[in-house]
Chain A
């Protein structure tokens, strides 16, 4: 009889405050994790959109520099190495300037690096390499960096440009 009585009491006493608190905490945690996860996906989606736009801008930068090379190798060769420069694109010409460039909120920067080749052969080697190497005055490594301050996305593309027209 005592056992029966206890069971009946347990069944009839309803939900206690502790159960309510635990239930509420579980629901709150589940909601919080769900919102955080979805917000994370949305942030990633927004960054992806910026990454796509930045990649096209970087690609445009490399092509613009290739066009500058085709116009005059001397313009590329005269640029200071390892120093930030910027593209100056208008409706008629493409040039290189010291004035920072911002395109639809994206900051685009250009760097020109010297190119070294192995003395024995033409392989390109790093500037810090200790193998025998010589500076190639007819080649430059150009790097275009595009940065979106709003989302922190940065894309960088590089390409070797050569004095194709042997000016």
Chain B
């Protein structure tokens, strides 16, 4: 190390080296810390935003899955039925009940504890909606003319966790086996 002091060149080098070793100025440190804080805040904000979006997307997915499962099953059973059991049904109010008579026996759709359930030939066949989705409204409307019968279903589904999401679906189907 003593050779640094032996020539002008080495003295010059030693001066430059000393300059490069001076560390950061206060203003540089402040700028870098500010940049770091901004980046950190942006990352945290993004992560929180993404979490919210994913929760909404998950709730949306649950709602769609429940809607398609419930409505497709009801449309299928109404389509295949030969007649509506008016005495066993509750029309035009929520919660409604729909009792169908078909070649495969009887089917009944009703609400229990916020879940849409189905019975097959009088025996409980389980829920059509998952526990995370509740049915806020279920209305059946019965239509009849000289040739056929039809049922309109209004179904409002609600997801409350982790975010609140509500959507109402309407579908109508004629009883294909009721044509006379």
Q: Which residues of A contact B (CB under 8 A)?
A: 1-2, 5, 8-9, 12-15, 17, 20, 24, 27-28, 31, 34-35, 38-39, 41-42, 45-46, 48-49, 52-53, 56-57, 59-60, 63-64, 66-67, 70-71, 89, 91-94, 103-104, 164-165
Contacts and interface: CB of A to CB of B under 8 A. Distances in A.
Given A24-B39, A35-B46, A46 B170 contact: no
A49 B152 CA distance: 20
A42 B56 contact: yes
B145 A31 contact: no
Given A9-B20, A71-B147, A104-B170, 7 more contacts: A1-B13, A5-B17, A20-B35, A49-B63, A53-B169, A57-B170, A165-B147
Contacts of A94: 143
Contacts of B94: none
B57 interface: yes
A52 B46 contact: no
Contacts of B16: 9
Interface residues of B, number: 46
8 contacts: A9-B16, A20-B31, A24-B38, A35-B50, A41-B53, A56-B71, A67-B148, A104-B170
A14 B31 CA distance: 14
B68 to A, nearest CB: 7
A12 B21 contact: yes
A12 B35 contact: no
A117 to B, nearest CB: 24
